[in-house]
Amino acid sequence: MRNRGSRLDPISEYRSAQQALRVLFQPFTAEHCPTCRTPCCRKPARIQPLDLILLETLISPNPVPPGAVERAAGEWLESAAAAADPDLGPCEFLTGTGCRFPGDLRPLGCTAFICQPMRSRLSAESLDALIVGVGRVEAAHVRLAESLGLGGGAESA
């Protein structure tokens, strides 16, 4: 699905940018996440309303119900308020086989998160590549939000 010219439409651009970034993260996460002592998929997760709206719109057979945006925003605010509690348990989207979000539609805050183990173990070159990839995902997220009339831009973790 493309717009005029060769540019991807906003949702395809966003999913494509997420896929490209996951390829960069994958070698590190495959090696280190299974034994990580400070796993990051904990509550409150970095999930924003738009992440949930995209999930419902693109994955669920049902359209976004009335009030979904407001509810998602409320949940996100509650989640942010709960951030002071250090031990709220695993993220509710975490399953025995990983995240319940599709691999190319993970919440922006999760996708864009460069964790401390990465910062301390990856080479400067690898970290720079991740930072560039995160920037592309965030830029695509801004364009996507604007295209949906949900301007205000991306909020990274």
Sign of CA dihedral 138, 139, 142, 143: negative
**How many residues bind ligand SF4, per CB under 6 A?**
21
Burial of 1 (0-12, 13-18, 19+ CB in 10 A): exposed
Contacts to ligand SF4 from residues 31-90, by CB under 6 A: 32-33, 36, 38-41, 45, 47
- Say how far apart CA 144 and CA 141 lie, in whole Å: 5
Residue 37 CB, shortest distance to ligand SF4, in Å, is 8
Per DSSP, what are the bridge partners of residue 42? 90
Residue bearing tokens 């966003």: 14
Q: Which listed range, 12-20, 28-36, 122-130, 141-149, lies at the site for ligand SF4 (CB under 6 A)?
A: 28-36
Q: Which of 10, 55, 76, 93 binds ligand SF4 (CB under 6 A)?
A: 93
Q: Which residues bind ligand SF4 (CB under 6 A)?
A: 29, 32-33, 36, 38-41, 45, 47, 91, 93-94, 99, 101, 106-107, 110, 115, 117-118
